[in-house]
Structure 1
Amino acid sequence: MANQSLVRHINERRLLGILRVSGPVSRAELARRLSLTRASITGMIDDLLARGMVSERAREDSPERRDVGRPGIDIALEPKGAYFFGVEIGVGVLRFALLDLAAGVAETDEMPFDRGLAPEQVVGLVADKLASLVLYRDSIRAMGMTVPGLVRRDGHVINLPILGWKDVELGALIAARIDLPCHVENNANAAAFGHIYSDPRPHHGVVVYLKIGTGCGGAVIIDDKLLRGGNGLGTEFGHLRIAADGPLCSCGQRGCMETFVNLKALQRYATNRDVDEAATDPQLPAQVAAGLAKGDPDAERAVTTLAGHLTEGLVDITNIFDPDEVVLGGAMLPVLDAVVERVAGPLRRRMVPGMSLPLLTVSRIGAFECAIGAAALAHHEEFDLSNLDLRT
């Protein structure tokens, strides 16, 4: 990219970022923030207006234009100017989300699929879904996809035991079927990023996210950026060893937090008997939450036991990362408020003395958190300055 074009591209991303975070802004203020001349900012805005990515909006109160008797004009992000497609490959379910240019959710949908399908067949289902979005087809700029397994930065799925996938070049399979930039990510990383990105304000500090459902995935965000590790495989908190023994984990080890803090474990605690993963009831968290409200002792035992095991892992995570916030999300959502209530006290007592208790919160994005997070990552990759290659 020639230097002049690169500078314009950078300024365009900066301008769109300002509008997403700040809302409508005047031309003069944009020129000031970007350190551009009036002519330069006018040319850039005129180009974005022509491409449908921004719009003009009259201000009701405009002191600087009041003397000429007409309202001032702000520049606003045009949500319909671009869309970003997010896909979650879950356990027998595909979830889809479409975000607009303002990172608002335009559509969501889901469909079941046979867990025995080959990866290329699943990608085919995704391609078919994308082709069906005829109202948005020409405006979709990029896509993101998540899987509940180990994913390298280049989109190579190392291991996805829940679906039986191993060493799958998922990024290459997508590129062969879909002509869009695609960013493949671990599902917990995507859910965590979606949680942060849904609030346009800059976030400073450390946020730890735990996605608790069929498994227990983890993610860390530092100053708005995912901590991925050297090969993109870091923060696998579900495989922290919190016991000397325990159920056999999908990783081949015993004692992993994931086997004590997931749907199958909650059912084990609620019924006092082990169950096969296929027999795990996805409605169990809602049923346990209803039981808690009625004072059911089995529900109380189940939540208290799960919270105790979660605390074991959070003690190590908190002592290592000193997070400002710990967010819980995933399919356990109906019981997570009760879990937080039971974790806070024991965690405070067992942290390194002098450390501050992180804010413990529950994600409210819901069932589409991974698909929304995947689309948010695509939005971020296309418009954030940190993703530009500025090497000459």
Structure 2
Amino acid sequence: MGLTIGIDVGGTKIAAGVVDTDGTIGARTQRDTPADSVDATAAAIVEAAAELIADHEVEAVGIGAAGFVSSDRSTVLFAPNLAWRDEPLGARVAAQLNIPVVVENDANAAAWGEFAFGAARHAEHMVCITVGTGIGGGVVIDGELLRGAHGVAAELGHMRVVPGGHRCGCGARGCWEQYASGRALVREGRAQAESGSLAAAQMLSVCGITDPTELTGPMITEAAAAGDPCATELLEDLGRWLGEGLASIATLFDPTTIVIGGGVSAAKELLMKSAQVAFEKHLPAKANRPHPTFGIAELGNDAGLIGAADLARKPAPVPAPSR
């Protein structure tokens, strides 16, 4: 199969691109996401794809969407930030474009992008963690994307790490993403500043603000890069939580490569050093098992778009017969 279109549907924007078999994006377009309307969101997806199809011979479309996607890669069962509930998005878009359409979980699509063309392109077993506002995850085993029996596997950010801990948007308490995400980084930074900590006050000064509520994750990362002690400590704590969780992930999936992506990965060594130390400390039977390599994602914000486009070239898996 030749050219395909990848579409990454986010809470605020819809990014679309024509992608070749080498993972290169040849043309792009973008639309705002009307997140509160199912019909308007589908229309925006169709409009973006149609614009690209008009100028390119495209054979299929892949859509990456945040949420639970059915195992036949057609229906969005649930989306936390969009109005989709049991939405037959694939069939709906395909009917209007008259072209095959598949739908993937956005974190799965990003993981596949890094597996096929990015930081894990030489691996057969990999885990990709996207550390942004929350934590997304994707797992590839023996060169195949792990989707699970119902299409909703690898929701790694919702692994419980602290019983009775912080309430998560999923409704549970103590999920990993409440401690190892951009949201957690900002929460802790603001809490320190509001406590009257002199070190945190100095961090706010480095960030050029006085109000703790204005503090953002990128501000903390930039302050740490400039050598601010409080910001550095906050990133080290985040890395510790990340590394502890990854030790459990490695125990479950035995990957050869773990790729870290998402906005928080911009901190690179400021984050990764403490993550790897915590990983080595908490990995079970660490002296008697092979250790995975760590890598920073290479495709940036294009990983989901590229991955969705490449997955559109692959037929939907056939569900196993029920017993």
**Same topology, TM > 0.5:** yes
Partner of residue 294, structure 2 = 360
Partner of residue 207, structure 2 = none
Partner of residue 148, structure 1 = 66
Tell me which amino acid in the other structure corresponds to 1:315.
A
Distance in 1, matches of 2:119 and 2:181, equals 31
| Residue 100 (structure 2) pairs with residue 181 (structure 1) | yes
How much has 1:261 moved relative to structure 2?
2.3
Cα distance change of structure 1 residues 324 and 200 upon mapping to structure 2, 3 Å threshold:
closer
Partner of residue 88, structure 2 = 169
Tell me which amino acid in the other structure corresponds to 1:242.
V
Distance in 2, matches of 1:175 and 1:221, equals 27
Cα distance change of structure 1 residues 274 and 255 upon mapping to structure 2, 3 Å threshold:
farther
* Residue from 372, 383, 387 that aligns with 2:306: 372
How much has 1:151 moved relative to structure 2?
0.8
3-state SS of paired residue (2:103): strand
Cα distance change of structure 1 residues 255 and 197 upon mapping to structure 2, 3 Å threshold:
same
Cα distance change of structure 1 residues 151 and 336 upon mapping to structure 2, 3 Å threshold:
farther
Deviations 1:292-337 (A, max 9, x none): 1211123112211211221231121111212111101122231244
How much has 1:134 moved relative to structure 2?
5.8
CA contact (8 A) 2:31 2:48 kept: no
Partner of residue 85, structure 1 = 5
Partner of residue 19, structure 2 = 99
**Normalised TM-score (structure 2):** 0.83
| Residue 238 (structure 2) pairs with residue 306 (structure 1) | yes
| Residue 197 (structure 2) pairs with residue 265 (structure 1) | no
Distance in 1, matches of 2:234 and 2:106, equals 26
Tell me which amino acid in the other structure corresponds to 2:272.
V
Tell me which amino acid in the other structure corresponds to 2:307.
G
Q: Which has the larger radius of gyration?
A: 1
Residues matched between the structures, number: 298
Cα distance change of structure 1 residues 199 and 213 upon mapping to structure 2, 3 Å threshold:
closer
Partner of residue 35, structure 2 = 115
3-state SS of paired residue (1:144): strand
Deviations 1:76-133 (A, max 9, x none): xxxxxx32101111121111121024432212343332322x2221111111112222
Distance in 1, matches of 2:238 and 2:8, equals 26
CA contact (8 A) 1:204 1:222 kept: no
3-state SS of paired residue (2:63): strand
Give the alignment of 1:158-237 within 5 angstroms: 158-198=77-117, 203-237=122-156
Cα distance change of structure 1 residues 280 and 103 upon mapping to structure 2, 3 Å threshold:
farther
CA contact (8 A) 1:333 1:366 kept: no
Distance in 1, matches of 2:119 and 2:97, equals 29
Tell me which amino acid in the other structure corresponds to 1:88.
D
Partner of residue 127, structure 1 = 46
Give the alignment of 1:380-391 within 5 angstroms: 381=314
3-state SS of paired residue (2:86): strand
* Residue from 155, 163, 166 that aligns with 1:247: 166
Distance in 1, matches of 2:244 and 2:22, equals 39
Higher relative contact order (CA 8 A, sep 6+): 2
Deviations 1:219-273 (A, max 9, x none): 1111221011112111111111000223221221000012222222121122226
Cα distance change of structure 1 residues 170 and 131 upon mapping to structure 2, 3 Å threshold:
closer
* Residue from 253, 258, 273 that aligns with 1:341: 273
Distance in 1, matches of 2:311 and 2:53, equals 23
CA contact (8 A) 2:8 2:14 kept: yes
Per mean C-alpha deviation after superposition, the further-off stretch among 239-248 and 328-337 is 328-337
CA contact (8 A) 2:239 2:275 kept: yes
Distance in 2, matches of 1:241 and 1:200, equals 27
Tell me which amino acid in the other structure corresponds to 1:106.
G
Q: Which runs of 5+ in 1 are unaligned?
A: 1-12, 14-81
CA contact (8 A) 1:269 1:302 kept: yes
Q: Which runs of 5+ in 2 are unaligned?
A: 195-211, 319-323
Distance in 2, matches of 1:183 and 1:342, equals 38
Tell me which amino acid in the other structure corresponds to 2:38.
P
Root mean square deviation of aligned Cα:
2.7
Tell me which amino acid in the other structure corresponds to 1:369.
A
Distance in 2, matches of 1:266 and 1:366, equals 20
Distance in 1, matches of 2:131 and 2:7, equals 19
CA contact (8 A) 2:17 2:28 kept: yes
Distance in 1, matches of 2:254 and 2:90, equals 34
How much has 1:165 moved relative to structure 2?
2.9
CA contact (8 A) 1:269 1:301 kept: no
**Normalised TM-score (structure 1):** 0.70
CA contact (8 A) 1:203 1:223 kept: no
Give the alignment of 1:265-304 within 5 angstroms: 265-272=184-191, 284-304=216-236
Tell me which amino acid in the other structure corresponds to 1:146.
G
Tell me which amino acid in the other structure corresponds to 1:143.
V
Partner of residue 256, structure 1 = 175
Per mean C-alpha deviation after superposition, the further-off stretch among 311-320 and 96-105 is 96-105
